[in-house]
Amino acid sequence: MTYRYRVATVFLLGFFIDCINMFMPAIALPTITGQFAVASAASAWVGNAYMLGLTLVIPLSTWLSARWGPRRVLAASMLAFALSAWGCGQASSFAALIAWRLAQGMAGGLLIPVGQALTFNLFQGPQRARVSTLVMAVALLAPALSPSIGGLIVDRYSWPWVFHANLPFALLTAALAWAWIAEAPGNRQPRPDFKGLLLVSGALACLLSGMSLYGAGHGSLVLLASLAAGLACALLYRAHYRHAGHGIVELTLLASARLRVAMLVYHAIPGVFTGVNLLNIFYLQQVLHLSAHATGLYMILYAAGAFIAMLAVGRLYNRVGARRLLLLGMLVHSLGIALLARVDSAAHNPLLIAAYGLMGLGGGMGANAAQTTALLDFNGERMQQASVLWNLNRQMAFSLGATLLLMLFNLWPEGTDAPQAYHLTFALAALLGLVPIMRLRALPLEPPCHAR
């Protein structure tokens, strides 16, 4: 195996491990919340802590790689990932689990950008398309397989093994990184914008905390205080950005209508789906009494629909433009969510199949079109800055989607029975998925042209 394919193997292994850790733990959440006696609204923090860890570290990854070399960063990140995965499985309290998930996200956040940059620099021209295809294949394979495998682990063993199962793969990736990645001398880099990073992370953490606590019944005062603290962090970051002239999030990039619309669509499709899927896991297991394994199998249908949509977007994007694809994606995705509001029993398997298939088709079409659209107006250094902003927005979409829908579910009046509360939340989620439609007018109808 040539050097560049060894590097690509390390990156793809790490990327696969990171992807399954976004989806596999979700299938165990009903069991985890039951064991630790916490409300379903708090369960979102198993995912939110992981996403927050990614958000904290992704902007620092380039600086760390330049300072210490990619070999050390990649190997250390996977060793830290293995340690935190073991800690998650050994957690004796919900708070300890959340702390270990934060550490796990921080470890995973180092590998993806460093490994991706190292790999893509070794593959140029048409050869880069092969690597991109492999990355997309992993991105589809992980959500397709990990929920059903995680469900099987929960049903036959116990939820800690959902995390412990990562250990051999993480250790193998760390060993391969140390053995295969060439040593590179470190060099001095400008100091990262630590102040800006803390302010952005603080704003996100306050927002997520406020919604989670409000959904758990802590009252509107807690929500308002959290929102005020988050707003204060955002305003402080804006002042810091204006004073410094640059920052961890380049606000001037938002002048691009394509980027703004794509970011909003990502909240409406993958973000909303993250919350819908999490709620449906609780609904299927706790109300309809399906096994964890049976619940996870529906994600295979989602991945199949997303794969078909990905192929369609690749063929149609330059012919029909982003506006039409995004509109169709949002409509089909919301139709799939609306079908979930019609599921009343485990006998409604055809409805569940149709719902996950449509959510996959619409979600894959919308998400792929949004990702293609987001960076069209940038190149050079601005492309790197826009890529950081886009990836931070992706993590925020996943976290906010899950937290918002769990909060809304827990706010229905006490007289609302569980099935009705789930159905009403799914119906509301279908409407939320259509919110960006009016903003599509900002996009040109003609086929896109890349930045020069």
Does this chain's domain 1-181 share its CATH topology with 248-444? yes
Neighbours of 394 (CB within 10 A): 23
Decide: 292 and 28 in contact? Cβ < 8 Å.
yes
Mean pLDDT of 128-141: 71
Please name the fold of domain 248-444.
Growth Hormone; Chain: A; (1.20.1250)
Q: What is the DSSP letter of 442?
A: G
Question: Would you kindly state where each structural domain of the chain is located, as residue ranges?
Answer: 1-181, 193-244, 248-444
Geometric angle at alpha carbon 143, from 36 and 402, rounded to 5°: 50
Mean pLDDT of 333-353: 93
Residue labelled with tokens 């006998």? 347
The helix/strand count (H/E) of the chain reads as 17, 0
Q: What is residue 452's predicted lDDT score, i.e. its pLDDT?
A: 40
Higher-pLDDT residue of 181, 129: 181
Q: What is residue 446's predicted lDDT score, i.e. its pLDDT?
A: 58
> Which of 427, 395, 434, 419 has the alpha carbon at shortest distance from 52?
395
pLDDT tens, 344-367? 988 888 999 999 999 999 998 998
Q: What is residue 188's predicted lDDT score, i.e. its pLDDT?
A: 64
Burial class (CB in 10 A: 0-12, 13-18, 19+), 168: exposed
CA–CA separation, 183 vs 300, rounded Å?
A: 40
pLDDT tens, 240-294? 988 887 777 788 888 899 999 999 999 999 999 999 998 999 999 999 999 999 9
**pLDDT higher than 90, residue 206:** no
Query: 1-181, which class in CATH?
Result: mainly alpha
Decide: 202 and 52 in contact? Cβ < 8 Å.
no
Decide: 236 and 199 in contact? Cβ < 8 Å.
yes
**Whole-number CA gyration radius for the chain:** 21
Backbone angles phi, psi at 37, to 5 degrees: 55, 50
pLDDT tens, 20-54? 887 889 899 999 999 999 877 788 888 888 888 88
